[in-house]
Structures are given as C-alpha cells and as structure tokens.
C-alpha cells in the first residue's frame, strides 16, 4: 500500500490546523491583554506621579510665594524639606527650578552642588516658556541600565510662570512586572498548546480514522479486492459516508463480477467462433482479433496486427478508408486466391456507438466463403453441363424428326437409319437422367445399400471375365490378384457398376495391343484395388478433376462413345458409401491408374463356402 507523506497526511494537517488556530487565537488574546495591561500600568504610574507632582507643585508654590522673616528658614531649606517629604522608591529625583532656569532645590543629597546652577535641559526651558506641562518622556539610563520617565510641570502664580518642577521617576519596575506577566502568559500558552495538541491528536484520530480506512479500501479496490469493508464508527456524516462507501463497494463488486462474466463469455464466444472477428477503436486501429481471424488472414501473431489500420489489415487501403468501411452496408469479398488455390473471404462491417451517436469503433466479421463460391461455381458449371449434354441429343433428334416429318419416313432406305439415331439419342438421355437421379439420391445420403458378404477375388474375376469375353478391341488383361481370400460386405450391384465404369473407361482410352492391369494389394484393415491402362493419360492439373461431374479427358471421344461424364462421379459416391476411398494417378502419354480401397475381414480357409 502506498505510504502518505507526513505533511500530506490529513491527520497531521488536521492537528496542525487545529493547533495553529488555537495558537493564533491565544496570541491575539495575549497581545491584546499585554497591550491593554501595559497601557493600564503606564496610565496608573503616570497618574500616580502626576498626583504627587501636583502636591509638590502646591507646596513648592506656597513656599516660593511666602513672605519670610529673619527667623524663618531660607527658601532653599524650606524647599529641601518639602521635597524630602515626597521621597519614594518610584521617584529618583525632584528638582525645583525658578523662572530663570536656576535650580533652587533637589531631594538628592549627592546633587546639592547643582543648586544655584542653570538648568540646561530643553524640556525645562520649553515648559517655563510655554507654561504647559511636558509629556511623559521615557528614556534609557545607560549608567543604571534602567528606563526612566521625565516629567516637567510649571509652577504658576495665576497666569505667571514662577518656576518648574523636574521629576525623574523610575519606571523600570512597571516593565519588570510586564515581563513577569509575559512569562506567566507564555507558560500558560505552552501548557495550553500541549493540552491542545493532545486533544487535537485525539480528535483528529477520531475523525480521520474512518477516512484512512476508506483510503485503504479505495486502494484495495483499485487492485481489484472488494472483500474489505470500512468500519463504521458512528452515525454522524462520516459514519454515513462509510456506510455509503461500503454500499458502493458492494455495487462495484457486483458490477465487476458481471463485467468479468460478460468478458469471459465474450472471450469464449470469440475463441470458439468459426468466423473471424476484428474490433477497432474510433480511429480505425485494430484493438481485438480472435484466432480464426488470424488464421484466415494468414497472420501468426496478433502483435503484428494490433494498432494497425483495419483497411491495411484487410488489404483494402488503396480502395477504402476507415470512414468508407464504417458506412459500408453490404459485405465485401476479399479475394486472396492464388494460382494453386482459390481463397475468398466475405467481410461484414458494423459500427459500435454510444447512445449519443458517437462512434466508438468498427466490428468486422470474416467468413471463409471459398467453399460457397466453389459450390456456386460447380452449380453453375453443372447446370451448364446438363444443358449442354441435353441440348446435343435434343438438337440431333429434332433435326431427324423434322426430316422424317418432311417425308423422309417414306424413304425406306433412310427412314430406318433416322429412327435408329433418334432411338439411340433417346436412350442416351435416359441414361443421363438415370445417372443424375443416382447422384441426387447419393447427395441426400439415400444410398439404399443391399450388402452381402462376398469373396472379392472371385467377384472381381467374374467382372473381368465378362469384359474380357465381350471386348471388341485388341487389349490384353493382366491380373495380379492375391491367393488370399478377401471377404468383404458390399452391395454387389453398386460395386459392379463402379468396376464396370472403371474398366469401361480403361478400354475406351487403351490403344490396340495395349495392356490393362488388374491388381489387389492387401493392407492391415483394408485392401487396395488398382486398374491401370496404357492410354493417353491425363495432365497433372486435371487428374483430380476426373471424379467431378461431367468431366471428360477427351470430350469428343467420350461423347461419341455414349458417355455422360458421370460414371466416375457416381463411383466416388458409391465407394464412399462403402467406407472406402477412390483416387487416380496418371502421366500424359503413359496411361492412368484408378485406385480404390475397401475395408475387409481376413478369414481362414475352410470357412468360405
């Protein structure tokens, strides 16, 4: 879990703010208290001094205005007696000065030498001149290191200034009292701050503990852990917030589980789809592609596709932009065919957008359309071949029937020939229709097999003997058959038709004096039949097509011999119905070999009757 710096912690911030607020409040109160106390003490001190100076001024004025006899003490003595009665700890010195700035008396015995001298103090001169008492001036006495207050009060006889009283008062005591009070206040502030910090920590912990729990829970939620719950400490706003936070945690957990479930479903669907799926962002860059899509596009790793433009991935960058594909309503054919192999994909496009209509991206679905295209091509070719095969005999029949209708039937020499041609073409069309019906039943898996157990060597030899006895051209039959009994369960009629088709084709394409080889090789669970001719052969690119419907190696010769081009196609379906396979190998100018296999059971001699 990420640690929070001490100055970033809400707990510390709360305590600091709380302490600062208390400190500021106490400082404001202390400053106001000290300032007011200092002002009060100064006022009291100056008032006390002023009151005493008033008494001194009254006594001094009486002595100065008093008429004296020879028996009375002198003015200096009288003034000294008056000043001595006002001695106190607060007053350092009191001087009496006449209107000519001469010092008449002082209460300090050490300063008697000053009596009779002229006072040089400017404050005294201003007071005598103006007749107004001076302000309370405070000075720092360097000799004693104390602060003193100097005050000069005029002595008046009516409106006439007859002198002045100079007062030097010690105000240091008042400042010492202020210092003591400040120390007491500072001590009280320190004690208060200590208590405040302790209370602040406790209060902050009470308020920040649920917030810290919610912070830890939020960090766990960011990691995907929704199992923790925030402890509820009370019913106040923070407690209600904790309850709401726990409810939010539960809802987020449900939402995440639902989203994760949907994601797993989507992943499973994408992985098990046979179609390819590609998803892009709003700029057309690929962000998701499933395995079938990678396989269809011939890409081995999705890292080669991610963040690439979709038009580039599909090979459409020269024809379409992302905006064009987003507006594409119809599917597009993607032709990746080569000379050796056809390969066509069909791409369908759909956009994903928000409720506001903002396009989030594009979904592309790829479908391998090669087989469908091949089926469509074969269907078109099949219809064309059937039309062609039927059109030739029908055209011939129409020509001969028109000739007969025009009177040729009266000619005894040509009428039988015309009728024979018409009959031959009719039988050819009947064979074609019957072959087509057979293929149609086989396509619908309606094989209708009547199987029975036969010994295949005897069965094969019987068919070969029949052809050998009825053949018209000079062709030699070479048999390479095993001595082992091969028991197989087959439909003899359908298997006879298969072998008849193969031998008939071998005879058609074998030259005079050529050989046809019949061979059977026994393998583990099946045997392989080989029928080889020495005919003209088939080119390598067409050898696989001889089992296609209506395919002829030599069309003119096959049609002249009455072939429909469906014999080998029917043979392939019949062999497949018996659980075997059929294929061909050929070399131009050297002949063709037809192979087919059938499953069998090897029986011991004596069990076959």
Instruction: Say yes or no to pLDDT of 322 above 90.
Output: no
Residue 105 · residue 164 · CB < 8 Å: no
- Cβ burial, residue 269 (10 Å; 0-12/13-18/19+): exposed
Range of 35-39, 289-293, 457-461 with top mean pLDDT:
457-461
Residue 233, both tokens: 């400490």
Tokens for 16?
């600091």
Q: For strand 526-532 and strand 515-522, is the pairing parallel, antiparallel, or unpaired?
A: antiparallel
Q: Same CATH topology for 11-178 and 452-602?
A: no
pLDDT tens for 462-520 read 888 888 887 777 888 999 988 888 888 898 888 888 888 888 888 888 888 888 999 99
178 pLDDT exceeds 50? Answer: yes
Distance CA 34, CA 44 (A): 15
Tokens of 267: 């992943």
Show contacts of 442-446: CB within 8 Å, 24+ apart: 442/570, 442/573, 442/574, 442/577, 443/573
- Class of residue 334 by CB neighbours under 10 A (exposed 0-12, middle 13-18, buried 19+): middle
Q: What is the distance between the alpha carbons of residues 75 and 66, in angstroms, rounded to a whole number?
A: 9
Chain segment 520-541, per-residue pLDDT in tens: 998 888 899 999 998 888 887 7
Least confident of 266-270, 388-392, 393-397, 405-409: 388-392
Question: For the domain 452-602, what is the CATH code?
Answer: 3.30.565.10
Query: Rounded to 5 degrees, what angle do the CA atoms 438, 439, 443 make?
Result: 120
Model pLDDT, residue 590: 85
The conformation of residue 606, written as its DSSP 8-state character, comes to: T
What is the mean predicted confidence (pLDDT) over 364-376? Answer: 78
Q: Token pair for residue 111?
A: 């300063």
Predicted local confidence at residue 435, as pLDDT: 64
Residues written for the chain: 609
Please determine, for residue 335, whether its predicted confidence score (pLDDT) is greater than 60. yes
Q: What's the mean per-residue pLDDT of the chain?
A: 78
pLDDT confidence of residue 530:
92
The 3-state secondary structure of 476-506 reads EEEEECCCCCEEEEECHHHHHHHHHHHHHHH
* pLDDT greater at residue 495 or residue 268: 495
Q: What confidence category does residue 237 fall into, taking pLDDT thresholds of 50, 70 and 90? A: confident
Quote the crossing angle between the two packed helices 370-405 and 415-443, to the nearest 10°.
160
3-state secondary structure of 539: coil
| Rounded-to-integer distance, Cα 324 and Cα 311, Å | 10
pLDDT of res. 8: 59
Confidence of residue 172 (pLDDT cuts 50, 70, 90): confident
Question: Hey, what are 532's tokens?
Answer: 């080889």
Judge contact between 518 and 479, C-beta under 8 A.
Answer: yes
pLDDT in the model for residue 519: 93
Q: How many CB atoms lie within 10 A of CB 541?
A: 8
d(CA 204, CA 17): 10
Q: Cα-atom radius of gyration of the chain, to the nearest Å? A: 65
CA distance 114 to 118: 8
The structural domains of the chain, with segments of one domain joined by +, span 11-178, 273-368, 374-443, 452-602
Looking up tokens 């095969």 gives 389
Out of 3-7, 187-191, 419-423, least confident range: 3-7
CATH of domain 273-368: 3.30.450.20
- The answer to whether residue 69 scores a pLDDT higher than 90 is no
Which residue has better confidence, 587 or 564? 587
Which class does domain 374-443 fall in? mainly alpha
Reference 302, options 337, 336, 278, 331; nearest CA is 278
Which stretch of 404-413, 433-442, 483-492, 549-558 has the lowest confidence by average pLDDT? 549-558
- CATH architecture of residue range(s) 11-178: 2-Layer Sandwich (3.30)
């Amino acid at each position: 879990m990420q640690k929070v710096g001490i100055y970033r912690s809400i707990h510390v911030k709360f305590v600091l703010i709380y302490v600062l607020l208390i400190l500021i409040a106490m400082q404001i109160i202390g400053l106001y208290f000290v300032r007011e106390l200092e002002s009060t003490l100064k006022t009291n001190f100056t008032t006390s001094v002023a009151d005493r100076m008033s008494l001194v001024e009254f006594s001094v004025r009486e002595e100065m205005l008093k008429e004296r006899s020879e028996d009375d003490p002198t003015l200096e003595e009288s003034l000294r007696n008056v000043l001595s009665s006002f001695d106190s700890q607060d007053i350092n010195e009191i001087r009496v000065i006449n209107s000519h700035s001469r010092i008449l008396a002082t209460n300090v015995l050490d300063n008697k030498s000053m009596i009779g001298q002229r006072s040089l103090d400017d404050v005294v001169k201003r007071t005598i001149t103006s007749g107004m008492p001076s302000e309370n001036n405070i000075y720092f006495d360097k000799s004693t290191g104390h602060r003193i207050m100097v005050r000069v009060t005029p002595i008046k006889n009516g409106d006439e200034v007859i002198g002045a009283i100079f007062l030097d008062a010690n105000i240091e005591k008042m400042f010492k009292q202020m210092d003591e009070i400040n120390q007491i206040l500072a001590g009280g502030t320190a004690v208060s701050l200590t208590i405040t910090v302790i209370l602040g920590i406790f209060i902050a912990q009470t308020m920040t503990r649920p917030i810290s729990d919610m912070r830890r829970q939020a960090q766990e939620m960011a990691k995907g852990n929704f199992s923790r719950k925030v402890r509820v400490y009370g019913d106040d706003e923070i407690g209600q917030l904790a309850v709401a936070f726990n409810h939010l945690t539960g809802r987020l957990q449900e939402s995440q589980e639902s989203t994760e479930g949907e994601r797993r479903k989507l992943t499973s669907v994408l992985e098990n789809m046979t179609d390819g799926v590609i998803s892009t962002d709003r700029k057309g860059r690929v962000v998701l592609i499933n395995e079938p899509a990678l396989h269809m596009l011939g890409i081995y790793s999705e890292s080669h596709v991610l963040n690439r433009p979709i038009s580039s991935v599909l090979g459409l960058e020269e024809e379409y932009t992302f905006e064009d594909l987003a507006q594409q309503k119809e599917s597009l054919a993607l032709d990746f065919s080569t000379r050796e192999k056809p390969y066509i994909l069909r791409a369908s496009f759909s956009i994903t957008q928000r409720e506001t209509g903002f396009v989030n991206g594009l979904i592309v679905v790829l479908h391998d359309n090669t087989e469908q295209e091949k089926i469509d091509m074969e269907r078109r070719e099949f219809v064309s071949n059937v039309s062609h095969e039927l059109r030739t005999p029908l055209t011939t029949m129409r020509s001969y029937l028109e000739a007969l209708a025009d009177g040729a039937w009266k000619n005894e020499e040509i009428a039988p020939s015309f009728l024979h041609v018409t009959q031959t073409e009719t039988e050819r069309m009947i064979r074609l229709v019957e072959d087509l019906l057979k293929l149609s039943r086989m396509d619908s898996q309606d094989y209708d097999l009547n199987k029975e157990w036969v010994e295949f060597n005897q069965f094969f030899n019987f068919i070969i003997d029949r052809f050998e006895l009825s053949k018209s051209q000079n062709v030699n039959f070479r048999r390479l058959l095993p001595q082992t009994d091969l028991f197989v369960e087959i439909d003899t009629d359908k298997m006879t038709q298969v072998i008849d088709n193969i031998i008939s084709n071998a005879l058609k394409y074998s030259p005079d004096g050529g050989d046809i080889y019949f061979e059977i090789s026994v393998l583990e669970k099946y045997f392989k039949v080989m029928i080889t001719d020495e005919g003209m052969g088939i080119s390598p690119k067409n050898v696989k097509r001889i089992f296609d419907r209506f395919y002829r190696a030599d069309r003119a010769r096959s049609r002249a011999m009455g072939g429909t081009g469906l014999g080998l196609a029917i043979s392939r379906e019949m062999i497949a119905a018996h659980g075997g396979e059929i294929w061909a190998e050929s070399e131009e100018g050297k002949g063709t070999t037809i192979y087919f296999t059938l499953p069998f059971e090897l029986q011991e001699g004596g069990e076959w009757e």
